[in-house]
Amino acid sequence: MPLLEVENVTKRFGGIVALDGVSFAAEPGEIVGLIGPNGAGKTTAFNVITRLYTPDEGDVRFDGESLLGTSPSGVIRRGIARTFQNVELFRGMSVLDNVRVGAHAHRGDQSPEDVLFYVNLHSLRYRSAAGLPYGTQKRVELARALASSPRLLLLDEPAGGLSHEEVAQLGKFIRSMRDDYELTVLLVEHHMGLVMSVADRVHVLDFGRKIAEGTPAEVRRDKSVVEAYLGAPG
Amino acid sequence: MSALLQLDRVEARYGPVQALHGVSLDVGEGELVAVLGANGAGKTTTLRAVSGTVRRSGDVIFAGEKLPRRPDAAARAGIAHVPEGRGTFSELSVWENLRLGAYTRRGALKDDARRVFTYFPRLEERKSQQAGTLSGGEQQMLALGRAMMARPKLVLLDEPSLGLAPMLVAEIFERLDRMKTEEGMAILVVEQNANLALAHAARAYVLEVGRVVLSGASDELRADESVRRSYLGY
């Protein structure tokens, strides 16, 4: 049974249909990529899953049960954690305190200190989050998410601000994290090298609709994906 | 070409943490120059040192004069800073954001706005829309448009590709070429997509832990073994 099932979800904002009958699923232990042009509805999908938005139609099920009756804070307690596209840390707080917030939201068996060692941020734990480089802030968000002992982790553009070499390291890191923490991962990312190297399956959105799905290799060859998103190879 | 901007052994710190250890670089009039480096190398801080938004020591010479370390002085001298994450005012409309771009100067805005709209027609379509509701790509266009409204001599641009789909990233860089050739603006751009940055920039600087470790013409850097391994990936 899939751990996450998004079924026929439609979300409208006024006259704009941000998601138009979108369905996809993630099996336990899978890394699933969600790609598409800006404004395609990827972050909206994250916001529906984490219940910041209520869909107009459709259902979202986690571990077989609907999430629609669950509050955003309840979602964390169900075992879903996320990072944000533009980094949403508590800027005035230390790295450690930010990660403690994750553990506080859902106390599992992860200690904030252990998580900080795992993501290699322990030496920065007393630094203020606001002053850190962008890529490092993204890692603090990841640590905060891990500290809430999730089963499903939603990553919104984790490669932002990283150089080529760092993105390659991040890819390896996501895979080992999936194994070490027994996670299922949903990944929104524009860095195609990263998506293609870590994702088991990829779903492609365009104007709120799913236009393709498959293995990374299949999706890369798909004509509609090349036209809507990737552009001419180069 | 006489240098429009010149940094002479500039140092900068965040509290106890020194981020720049004597960075020297220059940008000629109407020149597009890229800054490459890993997360935490000091790229963002270098831009902040120019616009006076971080504590700095060492000289910043702009248009032949020593630039006071005050953001308003930098803005009035003709420097527009497009920060990481774009820094658009999400509660304000697209039009209000553009008007704010022209805050430092007198005179009618209509012609400048018309000019901006030839670069980014989407902004005209969305003129009265709240900036926070724009897609990531549109927000980047708005941030660039707002910078153009100031009629700057120099644009400091931090990670314009952040969060943008591959096709849009290419489009943004084409616009930068146009801003350079048609408006005569000099551009200092920090960019994680080194392939693209080097394809458009005449020269580049590579930063490592707060120091310039390499600089030169884009072609030379592209041929450099360490640059290829760390930033280009081939």
Q: Please give the pLDDT value at position A232.
A: 62
Q: Please give the pLDDT value at position A58.
A: 98
Does residue A96 lie within any of the structural domains?
no
d(CA B80, CA B75): 6
**Domains of chain B and CATH, by start:** 3-88+154-232 (3.40.50.300)
Does residue A44 lie within any of the structural domains?
yes
- Quick one: chain B helix, strand, coil %, rounded to 5? 40, 30, 30
The structure's pTM equals 0.85
Q: Please give the pLDDT value at position B231.
A: 86
- Which residue, B189, B185, B183, is CA-closest to B115? B183
Nearest to B38 among A131, A166, A229 (CB): A166
Query: How far separated are the first and last CA of chain B, in Å rounded?
Result: 33
Query: How many angstroms separate the CA of residue A231 from the nearest CA in chain B?
Result: 6
For residue A161, pLDDT over 50 is answered with: yes
Q: Do A229 and B170 touch (CB under 8 A)?
A: no
- Which residue, A24, A2, A20, is CA-closest to A11? A20
Residue ranges with strand state E in A16-102: 16-26, 31-35, 57-62, 65-66, 80-82
Residue to test with chain A: of B18, B35, B43, B162, most A Cβ within 10 A: B162
Question: In this structure, what DSSP letter does residue A227 have?
Answer: I
Domain, as residue range, for A222: 1-79+152-160+184-229
Does residue A11 lie within any of the structural domains?
yes
Cβ contacts of A188 within 8 Å, gap of 6 or more: A33, A34, A35, A42, A43, A46, A85, A154, A155, A156, A157
- Work out the mean pLDDT of chain A and round it to a whole number: 93
Helices (runs of H) and strands (runs of E) counted in chain A: 9, 10
> What number of C-beta contacts closer than 8 Å exist between A and B?
92
Q: What is the pLDDT of residues A74-130, one digit of tens each?
A: 999 999 999 998 889 999 999 999 999 999 998 888 899 999 999 999 999 999 998
Does residue A196 lie within any of the structural domains?
yes
| CATH code: domain of residue A210 | 3.40.50.300
Q: Do B192 and A127 touch (CB under 8 A)?
A: no
Does residue A225 lie within any of the structural domains?
yes
How does DSSP assign B140-165, residue by residue? HHHHHHHHHHT--SEEEEE-TTTT--
Q: Please give the pLDDT value at position A233.
A: 53
Does residue A115 lie within any of the structural domains?
no
d(CA B63, CA B4): 5
Residue ranges with strand state E in B83-140: none
Contacts of B133 in chain A (CB under 8 A): 13
Phi-psi sector, B157: left (phi>0), alpha (psi -120 to 50), beta = beta
Q: Please give the pLDDT value at position A234.
A: 41
Q: Do A39 and B137 touch (CB under 8 A)?
A: yes
d(CA B138, CA B146): 12
Does residue A40 lie within any of the structural domains?
yes
Q: Which residue's entry shows tokens 């670069």?
A: B119
3 state SS of A2: coil
d(CA B192, CA B159): 7
Q: Pairing relation of β-strands B3-14 and B17-28?
A: antiparallel
Residues lower than pLDDT 50 in chain B: 1
Task: Tell me the two tokens of residue B63.
Answer: 């248009």
Nearest to B166 among A127, A157, A190 (CB): A190
Q: Do A38 and B136 touch (CB under 8 A)?
A: yes
Buried b (16+ CB within 10 A) or exposed e, A2-39: bbbbbbebbbeeeeebbbbebebbbeeebbbbbbbbbb
Looking at the structure of chain A, the number of domains it has is 1
Does residue A54 lie within any of the structural domains?
yes
Q: Pairing relation of β-strands A4-13 and A209-214?
A: unpaired
Query: How many angstroms separate the CA of residue A90 from the nearest CA in chain B?
Result: 16
